[in-house]
Amino acid sequence: MFRPVKTKKVYEEIVHQVKLSIEEGKLKPGDRMLSERDLADQFNVSRASVREALSAMEMMGIISIHPGEGSYVRHLPSDSMLETLAASVQTEAVDILHLLEMRKIIETETASLAAVRATAVDIEDLQQALNEMKLEVSSGGHVEDIDAKFHYILVRAARNPVLLRVAQTVSQLLTSNYRSLRLALFLVPNMSQIFYEAHIEIFQAIITKNPRLAREKMGEHLDTIQEAMRWYKYGGEESLRIFPMIYHSRHNTTG
């Protein structure tokens, strides 16, 4: 049913393949998932990666985990929250800046909560995401997918399923409706370096358990994204390309 995973973002690929199997009807609501060991064999990954994927899918509402019994595919109702917001994006005067503003409201607070509630596993996962981001930056790649992974882990670490669901909804809307804008942002030279440096500051606030600083650094990071998107919206790609130079000039002056 499943194919071996050939990606650095192992747990995300596992989640993707399971969701695809559900959409294609290969897995149905109520079906019992394979055991952790069997899943690890089919995906050709470690059991730790399978556990991470199962945990993520439980938090996303895709499966339910019953200790001693196994994991089961859940009955998935239509996502009314996502559908309602998606309709607003398509039919009303809602653009990427509105969604980014909402994202800032949500993620600054979740960063603060994560600084208090993050577990050792969360810290390890955040560190791994940073390591992957560093590799991408050093090789000249862009960090769109790793950025999404880092933010997902951070929201998960807040241990609030309502915040997690709302944050995921906003993320899905940004990805599905503004993918070209987001990709334009990540493809700008030196932008990935700016993101990497911002994520290091957020991570430091988390591991030192400083909720005020975590909120502040997340706010600064999301303000940067909002500002870059304004440059793109009103000045196009040419304007966006000079944004990193202006950003570094400003920070070198104030720093």
The rounded mean pLDDT for the chain is 85
Average pLDDT on 178-206 reads 90
Predicted confidence at residue 219, as pLDDT, reads 97
Whether residues 138 and 175 fall in one domain? yes
Q: Across 49-53, 101-105, 131-135, 201-205, which has the greatest mean pLDDT?
A: 201-205
pLDDT above 80 (res 75): no
How do residues 218-254 score in pLDDT, each as one tens digit?
A: 999 999 999 998 888 888 888 888 888 888 777 775 4
Q: Could you give the CA distance from residue 61 to residue 63 in angstroms, rounded to a whole number?
A: 6
Residue 105 clears pLDDT 90, i.e. is over it? yes
Stretch among 28-32, 39-43, 138-142, 249-253 having the lowest mean pLDDT? 249-253
CATH number of the domain within which 15 lies: 1.10.10.10
Q: Look at residues 55, 73, 91 and tell me which one is the last residue of a structural domain.
A: 73
- Whether the per-residue pLDDT at 89 is higher than 70: the answer is no
Does a structural domain hold residue 120? yes
**Do 134 and 246 fall within a single domain?**
yes
Whether residue 183 is found in the same domain as residue 107: yes
Determine, yes or no, domain membership for 241: yes
Reported confidence tier of residue 7, pLDDT bands at 50, 70, 90: very low
Report the Cα 216 to chain-centroid distance in Å: 19
Q: Are 222 and 170 in contact, with CB atoms under 8 Å apart?
A: no
Residue that finishes a domain, picked among 38, 54, 73? 73
Burial tier of 27 (Cβ tally within 10 Å: 0-12, 13-18, 19+) = buried
Range of the domain at 21: 10-73
Same domain, 65 and 114: no
What's the chain's length in residues? 255
pLDDT tens digits for range 22-38 = 877 888 888 999 999 99
The whole-number pLDDT of residue 87 equals 60
Look up the pTM and report it: 0.68
**What average pLDDT does this structure show over 102-114?**
96
d(CA 105, CA 118): 20
Which of these, 213, 65, 27, lies nearest to 52 by C-alpha position?
65
Instruction: Answer for the pair 39, 71: CB distance below 8 angstroms, yes or no.
Output: no
Examine the domain organization and report whether 45 and 64 are in the same domain: yes
Pick from 41, 73, 105: which residue ends a domain?
73
